[in-house]
Amino acid sequence: MLATQVINMAIPGSNLIFKDSKDEQQEGLMETLFIGQTWQMRYLKLKAYTYGTIATVTGMVCTATADYFVARWTGYNGILDWFFAVVI
């Protein structure tokens, strides 16, 4: 056995102080995963911003269209006038 393994078994919590080969392998794996996930996160953010922008613009166009038709074909001055008069 290595000296650090003996110390780790003898003293509880000593693995927080001393590193062994397993810790080094885990750190190396996490560094590799972190680099890979960085690009995935950038792609995910770009995709979320794109879909969010499309959804926002679509919602604005639908609201403006509905407001126009409510104002044009009814006696109300738009969606808010209809909402406060009919719903509330």
What percentage of the chain carries pLDDT values higher than 90? 39
* Residues 6 or more apart whose Cβ sits within 8 Å of residue 82: 70, 74, 76
Q: Tell me, what's the pLDDT at 23?
A: 73
Helices (H) and strands (E) in the chain, counts: 3, 0
**Whole-number pLDDT of residue 14:** 55
Question: Which regions of the chain are under pLDDT 50?
Answer: 1, 7-8
E-strand stretches of 5-84: none
The SS3 assignment for 78 reads coil
Residue 24 has a pLDDT of: 75
d(CA 72, CA 62): 15
